[in-house]
Amino acid sequence: MDRREEHLDELPSMGSAFARALVPSRAKTAKIPQHVAVVEDQRQDLARLAEYNRVCGFTLRDSVPPTWLHVLTFPLHVHLLGAPDSSVKLVGAVHVSNSMTLHRPVGLGEKLQVRVHIDNLRPHKRGAMIDLLGEIRVGDETVWNGTSTYLATGMSAPGEVEDIERQPFDPLQPQAKWRLAKDLGRRYRRVSHDPNPIHTSKVAAKAFGFARPLIHGMWTHARALSALEGRLPETYSASVSFLRPILLPGTVGFAASPTPQGFDAAVTNRDGTKAHLLMGVTGAP
Amino acid sequence: MNSNAVIVGGNRTPFAKAGGPYAQASSHDLLTSAIDGLAARYGLSGKQLGEVAAGAVLKHPRDFNLTREAVLSSSLAPTTPACDLQQACGTGLEATIYIANKISLGQIDSGIAGGADSASDAPITVSEPLRKALLAANAARSTGDRLKALARIRPSHLKPLAPGVNEPRTGLSMGEHQALTTKRWEVTREAQDELAAASHHTLAAAWDNGFFDDLVTPFLGVAKDSILRPDTSVEKLSKLKPAFGGPEGTMTAGNSTALSDGAATVLLSNEQWAKDNHLPVLAKFVDANVAAVDHPAGDDLLLAPVGAVGHMLERNGLTIEDFDLVEIHEAFASTVLATLKAWESEEYCTSLGLKGAIGTLDRSKLNTMGSSLAVGHPFAATGARIVPSLAKMLHDLGPGKRGLISVCAAGGQGVVAILEAV
């Protein structure tokens, strides 16, 4: 399907777009914008990337982590979910899973075209599911794409509810312990530019039913990838399921094991009995 | 089982001025980049090597295992062991000696030596009274004791401290020490500026000729040593104001090395390992030596390599004429010039216990592809920059060609080595 392209001069600053995306929707039926939001010639800021790498545990290299490219698409997620023709709003939408493929190493000096659209509106037993589909191009070449799946709780969507198999998780012995400091939410906000106060404010977190702020799921994803740094192939796909939020400050466990295609990894509670995030990495064909 | 340690090749980042393009990079980032480039060049991804030895002079406490952590971030097999080693500006060469010795003794078949430094990301520490108070508070068993410890902190204790650049025993900076040497050995401003200009011109020519194509991998958008000024001249350099030695001083920012960021690595192995892995061999690592001077008693701080070279030549039965190329690290232009004068001095050399003067160097053999004045000098990286470059130059000249390396270091130490082309 040919989608209308909305060209933005730059990645929208998240303040106002975020405010719009936060306004709760009274609609019960999930509706999504059909167009693609596009930003051309996006430069990457070295200082911000360096700090992103420090916060997430990556070594600063000439090629950037794929999760950093996701961060660059995120303002367009917010922009689309704040659009008038979106009845799905960020508030109440839960990021349930994410997948991304790095098709080739992306250099920090490369100018990027960032594209995002929403698709695959489908029913779920607790609401409606949507995919935010991001793509990064250099010239005509797709260098990265990602799918962020959100669940809009309480909304309806046409179609049959599919049975989604819950990823099995067997308790494991963590190989590493990550101590997440209280200020991690703030440090990640500075580099991700995601202003969602649920990651930084106790009051906001309480409003959503959490005792303390939660670390951003995409930080946990990035940290799990950086733990495998040096062993990751040049191009790969990574998919994660966000199973349980991680409260700050907190201590979590991490374990990874090689698979024929790449790695399976889990971020768990301290003793490895419950999973916060499951990640699979496979080398790109 | 004893075997020859050979130099397979090297890789480094381009070097850059502190606070420049690598301002955001840590020593860890720089060293990882240099190792990864080496691994890419010689097909070492996923391979387990005998050992990696490297270091940094400016070191954060978090980098207590800098080299091992860089190995883990790199594409080398995570089962490759590593150690940190530090001998000020001699670090890169001392790390090479360590790896070469292990190879020669048959303890390892292959290894990487290196060094990284970021003067941009230098550690800032807290003052000694503040540190003591914090340690006491940490060790306190009761809240009262903790508060008592913390109550000792005064506002003046809160001033952060930059890493010391002065020699601890003399209070003189390296430049001030060298200014004394410059005066004592009567090294002229003209000679220093000529050497500095030559360093830039020969380095520029080496870059133009593609000499560094298989020795350097770009990093963070920098493809070439960024301190290099191909268009500098003796005339331009002669206009700079003295930086050391007072108003009458002859040492300027132009004939002294700049604070730099960068990392360098060398791949060494025994001959069999190189053959088994279908890798080239540039040169043999023949011998090395370390010496020190008594600078607190007034010796020339940066002339320690003179004794190191002299004794190494004597034990190998070699004279300075037996060398085809000579690399003397340009800490300052006047360090190189004073070193050459010291080599020629019967009196100085015999005072070091040598049989006589080391001799006069044919200057056309000296630093033929530029040195630290033009390349830059990330302290720990310099030795590991020189070794593969010299090995390649010797290899290009043909089998049996000999090269000498002389590196001066803080603390009045000198590290030197002999390479021979294969």
pLDDT (tens place) for every residue of chain A, 285 residues total: 689 999 998 887 777 777 777 676 777 899 999 999 999 999 999 999 999 999 999 999 999 999 999 999 999 999 999 888 999 888 778 999 999 999 999 999 999 999 999 999 999 999 999 999 999 999 999 999 999 999 998 899 988 887 777 778 999 999 999 999 999 999 999 999 998 899 999 999 998 899 999 999 999 999 999 999 988 999 999 999 999 999 999 999 999 999 999 999 999 999 999 999 999 999 965
Name the residue among B308, B285, B322, B324 with its Cα closest to residue B409.
Answer: B308
Q: Please tell me the distance in Å from B407's CA to the nearest CA on chain A.
A: 30
Query: Do A50 and B25 count as a contact with CB atoms less than 8 A apart?
Result: yes
Q: How far apart are CA A13 and CA A45, in angstroms?
A: 15
Q: What is the 3-state secondary structure (H, E, C) of B110-130?
A: EEEEEEEEECCCCCCECCHHH
Q: Where are the alpha helices (DSSP H) in A57-96?
A: 66-81
Instruction: State the CB neighbour count (10 A cutoff) for residue B12.
Output: 33
- Which pLDDT does position B72 carry in this prediction? 97
Q: At what angle do helices A46-56 and A184-192 cross, to 10 degrees?
A: 150
Q: Taking CB atoms and an 8 Å cutoff, what residues of chain A touch B74?
A: 230
Phi, psi for residue B129 in degrees, rounded to 5 = -60, -35
Is the CB of residue B77 less than 8 Å away from at least one CB of chain A?
no
Q: Please tell me the distance in Å from B75's CA to the nearest CA on chain A.
A: 5
Query: Do B33 and A61 count as a contact with CB atoms less than 8 A apart?
Result: yes
pTM score of the predicted model: 0.92
Residue that wins the pLDDT comparison between B199 and A234: B199
Tokens for B44? 């070492």
Tokens for A96? 């349930």
Residue that wins the pLDDT comparison between A234 and B113: B113
Q: Once rounded to an integer, what is the mean pLDDT over residues B32-54? A: 98
CA pseudo-torsion sign B274, B92, B217, A136: positive
Top CATH class of B174-210+286-421 equals alpha beta
Q: How far apart are CA B60 and CA B116, in angstroms?
A: 12
**From A228, which residue of chain B is nearest by alpha-carbon distance?**
B73
Is the CB of residue A109 less than 8 Å away from at least one CB of chain B?
yes
CA B373 to mean position of chain CA atoms: 12
* In chain B, % of residues over pLDDT 70: 97
Lowest mean pLDDT among A197-211, B214-228, B356-370: A197-211
Residue that wins the pLDDT comparison between B138 and B197: B197
Q: How many helices (H) and strands (E) does chain B have?
A: 14, 12
Is the CB of residue A46 less than 8 Å away from at least one CB of chain B?
yes
β-pairing, B402-409 with B413-421?
Answer: antiparallel
Is the CB of residue A247 less than 8 Å away from at least one CB of chain B?
no
Q: Taking CB atoms and an 8 Å cutoff, what residues of chain A touch B47?
A: none
Best interface-test mutation with A: which of B38, B48, B75 has the largest number of A CBs within 10 A? Answer: B75
- Which pLDDT does position B160 carry in this prediction? 64
Domain borders along chain B are 174-210+286-421
Q: Once rounded to an integer, what is the mean pLDDT over residues B213-228? A: 97
Tokens for A19? 């405010």
Q: How far apart are CA A48 and CA A45, in angstroms?
A: 5
Phi, psi for residue A121 in degrees, rounded to 5 = -65, 125
- Which pLDDT does position B367 carry in this prediction? 98
Is the CB of residue A61 less than 8 Å away from at least one CB of chain B?
yes
* In chain B, % of residues over pLDDT 90: 86
- Which pLDDT does position B149 carry in this prediction? 81
A168-285, CATH topology level: Thiol Ester Dehydrase; Chain A (3.10.129)
Instruction: State the CB neighbour count (10 A cutoff) for residue A118.
Output: 23
Predicted-complex ipTM score? 0.88
Q: Please tell me the distance in Å from B259's CA to the nearest CA on chain A.
A: 21
**From A232, which residue of chain B is nearest by alpha-carbon distance?**
B75
CB contact set of A165 (below 8 Å; sequence gap of 6+): none
Best interface-test mutation with A: which of B49, B76, B220, B261 has the largest number of A CBs within 10 A? Answer: B220
Residue B1 has pLDDT above 60, yes or no: no
Q: Once rounded to an integer, what is the mean pLDDT over residues B58-64? A: 88
Contact criterion met (CB below 8 Å) for A169 and A255: no
Name the residue among B267, B270, B266, B265 with its Cα closest to residue B5.
Answer: B270
Query: Do B29 and A62 count as a contact with CB atoms less than 8 A apart?
Result: no
Q: Taking CB atoms and an 8 Å cutoff, what residues of chain B touch A235?
A: none
Q: Once rounded to an integer, what is the mean pLDDT over residues B367-381? A: 97
Please identify which residue in the block is written with the tokens 């929707």. A25
Contact criterion met (CB below 8 Å) for B258 and B15: no
DSSP assigned state of A120: E
Residue B164 has pLDDT above 60, yes or no: no
Q: Taking CB atoms and an 8 Å cutoff, what residues of chain B touch A63?
A: none
Superfamily of structural domain A1-164:
Hotdog Thioesterase (3.10.129.10)
Instruction: State the CB neighbour count (10 A cutoff) for residue B66.
Output: 26
Which residues, listed in sequence order, are joined to residue A8 by a DSSP beta bridge?
A39
Which residues, listed in sequence order, are joined to residue B242 by a DSSP beta bridge?
B252
Q: Taking CB atoms and an 8 Å cutoff, what residues of chain A touch B221?
A: 62, 108-109
- Which pLDDT does position B163 carry in this prediction? 58
Contact criterion met (CB below 8 Å) for B5 and B104: yes
Best interface-test mutation with B: which of A54, A56, A62 has the largest number of B CBs within 10 A? Answer: A62
- Which pLDDT does position A148 carry in this prediction? 97
Residues of chain A with CATH 3.10.129.10: 1-164, 168-285
- Which pLDDT does position A120 carry in this prediction? 95
